[in-house]
Amino acid sequence: MKQVTRRSFIKHTSVAGAALWLGLSTKGYAQKTVSLAGAKNFSPYILVESSGAITIYNTKPEMGQGTFQAIPALIAEEFEVSLDQIIIKQSNGEKELGPGQRAGGSSSVRSNYTALRKVGAAAKEVFVKAAAMQWAVDIETCYAENGTVIHKPTMRKLTYGELVEAASKLELPKEPKLKDPKDFKILGKPMKRPDVPLKTNGKAEFGIDVQVPNMLFASVQRCPVIGGTLKSFDASEALAMQGVEKVAEVERIIGIYHSVGVAVIANSYWAAAQARKKLKIEWDNKGFSTFNSADYENHLRSLAKEEGLIDKNIGATDTVTLLPQNTLEAFYETPMIAHHALEPMNCVAQVQGDKVEIWTSTQVPSTLTGSGANDLHRHIGFTAENIKLHATFIGGGFGRRLNIDYIIEAVNIAKQINKPVKVIWSREDTTDQGPFRPMTFSKLKAGFSEEGKLVAFWHKVISPSYMQAMNKTFDKNKVDNIMVEGIGEQAYEIPNIKTSYVRADYHVPLAAWRSVTSSTVAFAHECFIDELANKAKKDPLDFRLSLLTKPSDLKRVLLKLREISNWDKPLPKGKARGVAQWEFFAGLCAHVVEVTYHANKSISIDKVFAVIDLGEVVNPGNVKNQVEGSIVMALGAAIKPGITLQSGKVMQSNFYDNPQIRINEVPEIEVHILAEGGKVKGVGEPGLPPFAPALANAIFAATGKRIRKMPFGLDNV
């Protein structure tokens, strides 16, 4: 991956010969300049040089989701250049490239789809106009192709490089004409990802790969009791070990939680990790050494009796009259789980005077160097202008790398020694220190009219608050919208709906996990919809469609799912299907899961059918990869042990006791994409929430046993 620092970014204006930058103004209009030094309120995406070199910047961190290809593809399609013709450079949080240099919420494409196409279209139009003026011909007789403008009657040609100087003198159109999708050459077509060869031949650099001259290594011992902090330590044995240079206190800051650990700094990671074992530390457990998950779960169950804060109250849920025999209630539980990105947390930092240089894999580069750096400044003491970032490829994010605690930690260690320092978290560190997806409990109730129509639906969420964990100014008297996301946005036509939230205090660091709270509340919501279908004595898919009398994206998705899964075709004895869907901020996806119930009472998953609605698609191959990955993560969260605490400590430490899904456990997956225009939706997360409920619903269809708690085993149902 080609990296660009802020200094080299500006130096691009000094290339040999003429050069032209093209991008977006803060008002969303296409803009150009020949010198970034004098440009204001401008985010450049394209650099065209008179030599013919064309560079397109990817401003969205690449963590396996495909932005290294997708973002340049949006521009290249309209600019009429192939991906083989361009140099792709990853941004590093440069101020010039704006505050949107982050990846999360499946937003990279859906929030930039039209804007970046306009950048490419406006750039193409200005080069075509420049060529037409140079030839003194009607612009309608000219067209662009493969980075070249062609005069159709005479077949004369001028490359973009040859037109740089002339194009720089022309105004860009504010509303360029975008292509009809039927004319796309790149978008919507299967494409080879340019980052894959780099990742398979070893050329791709991840944060864990970074090597800096004279670099030292640090390993940090943090309080094993979550919520505790350092009281005192004796480092004499650690300091006596070969290779150890320093032992120092270091603060960890994540959201509202602050704690102090002990960092061992040595000439190798091995030396630092081994010396860390020799530390003699006395911890201040802050009274949390008696905390355990079982008691806390009972506390959440008791809180379910509270009314809670009202999120949405549609219709007349408080006055609707229902006969007891026409109502149904259920209680669902999901556990706390870890992110387990394959690449552990790591960061290299070097402090020189009032400046700091950082090498790391992060989902939020612009938080480190842009306007969001104010929070970072408070914790490390450096202003955004004095922070130089080298953002690498990311070996898995899943929301964990939206947090910058490991970066703050590295910088604060580097401040204590006059050399660059590489902090590496072990797998045990990443497992037992968090942050974690919070456990989420749901109390549900629904009622039918005497005619059998579903007329009322209540969904109460009981959980810790993500926003409270992240923000000390969070108003506890308001609903944490993240903890109830999606519940009130389902397309089902139910006249009376009430969603509410009961917040529970918690001292454990929390963070967004792939698909955030939809990964938990969808399990409860869609399993309960299945329970209602059973009470109504209706087929689960028919029941859902009966709640969708109006045209909607969800209705299209479910009808397509019915078709591709052969839902109406009976299965052999012992086999069954389950269905679920979920629509939330990131997008919309639905699954049918087929299972076999064996004589030994075990369940095997035979196949998963998935339909994802995107509106528009960049690379269908990459979409399938992302949906498959979401299903694998969802399967792990559904059937593998979660994170538990006893005596204040996390009981899991590595993959042997907090296992992940292995390849032999992955069922056949068939993904179908709906890209029929309309609202552009996300890809990275929507495939996850529907899986667990679809699996649980399939198990019910096969066994008659209703599962209301994750994780659940498949060996003895």
pLDDT in tens, 82-120: 999 999 999 999 888 888 899 999 999 999 999 999 999
In whole angstroms, what is the distance from residue 601 CA to residue 591 CA?
Answer: 24
Are 654 and 684 contained in the same domain?
yes
Would 710 be classed as within a structural domain?
Answer: no
With H, G, I as helix, E, B as strand and everything else as coil, classify residue 406. Answer: helix
Question: 549 and 698: one domain?
Answer: yes
Q: What per-residue confidence (pLDDT) applies to 37?
A: 67
When divided into structural domains, the chain yields a total of 3
Query: Which of 173, 200, 227 is the last residue in one of the domains?
Result: 200
Cα–Cα distances (Å) from 577 to 70, 448, 530, in that order, read 35, 25, 12
Q: 196 and 238: one domain?
A: no
| Per-residue pLDDT at 197 exceeds 80 | yes
Residue 36 lies in a domain: yes
* pLDDT confidence of residue 16: 56
244 and 118 belong to one structural domain: no
Instruction: Judge whether 446 lies within some domain.
Output: yes
Burial of 405 (0-12, 13-18, 19+ CB in 10 A): buried
Same domain? 196 vs 239: no
- The predicted structure's pLDDT at residue 94: 87
CATH number for position 504: 3.30.365.10
Q: Summarize the confidence of residues 128-137 as an average pLDDT.
A: 98
Asked if residue 717 is part of any domain, the answer here is no
- Checking if the pLDDT of 15 tops 90, the result is no
Contact 617, 66 (CB under 8 A): no
Residue 5 has pLDDT above 80, yes or no: no
Count Cα neighbours of 516 within 13 Å in the Cβ-side half-sphere.
21
530 and 664 share one domain: yes
Does some domain include residue 709? Answer: no
Residue type, 377: H
Tell me the percentage of the chain whose pLDDT exceeds 70.
96
CB 155 within 8 A of CB 135: no
pLDDT at 136: 98
Closest CA to 514 of 108, 65, 104, 206: 104
Whether the per-residue pLDDT at 215 is higher than 50: the answer is yes
Q: What is the pLDDT of residues 592-605, one digit of tens each?
A: 999 999 999 999 99
Interval 550-561 mean pLDDT:
98
Among 28-42, 187-201, 397-411, the range scoring the smallest mean pLDDT is: 28-42
Sort 495 into a burial class: Cβ within 10 Å, 0-12 / 13-18 / 19+. Answer: middle
Same domain membership, residue 308 and residue 174: no
Residue-range definition of the domain harbouring residue 50? 2-200
State the DSSP string of 483-533: GGTTGGG-----SEEEEEEEE----S-B---TTTTHHHHHHHHHHHHHHHH
In this structure, the answer to whether residues 127 and 16 fall within a common structural domain is: yes
Residues 170 and 239 occupy one common structural domain = no
Read off the pLDDT of each residue in 10-39 and give the average, rounded to a whole number. Answer: 72
Per-residue pLDDT band at 566 (split at 50, 70, 90) = very high
- Tell me: do 398 and 477 sit in the same domain: no
User: Tens digits of per-residue pLDDT, 272-315?
Assistant: 999 999 999 999 999 999 999 999 999 999 999 999 999 999 99
- Indicate whether 163 pLDDT > 50: yes
Same domain, 303 and 364: no
Q: Which two tokens stand for residue 135?
A: 């030839």
Given 147, 181, 200, the domain boundary residue is 200
Q: Taking residues 679-694, report their average pLDDT.
A: 98
DSSP letters for 193-248: -THHHHHHTT---BGGG---TT-EEEEEE--SBTT-EEEEEE-HHHHTSTTEEEEE
- Structure-block tokens of residue 94: 């440069």
Report the percentage of the chain scoring pLDDT > 90: 90
- CB atoms inside a 10 Å sphere around CB 517: 26
Residue 11 or residue 191, greater confidence: 191
Domain endpoint, select from 200, 231, 252:
200
**Residue 2's pLDDT band (boundaries 50, 70, 90)?**
very low
Residue 7 confidence (pLDDT) above 80: no
Is 711 within the bounds of a domain? no
Instruction: Calculate Rg over the CA atoms of the chain.
Output: 28
pLDDT at 513: 98
- What was the pLDDT predicted at 12? 45
pLDDT band at 668 (very low <50, low <70, confident <90, very high): very high
Give Cβ neighbours of residue 392 (< 8 Å, ≥ 6 apart).
1, 3, 205, 206, 207, 209, 210, 359, 360, 361
d(CA 633, CA 340): 10
Q: Binning pLDDT at 50, 70 and 90, where does residue 372 land?
A: low
**259 in any annotated domain:** yes
* Euclidean distance between CA atoms 596 and 539, whole angstroms: 19
| Segment 233-244, tens digit of pLDDT | 999 999 999 999
259 and 193 both lie in a single domain: no
In a domain? residue 716: no
How far is residue 243's CA from residue 270's CA, in Å, rounded to a whole number?
Answer: 9
Return the pLDDT at 374.
63
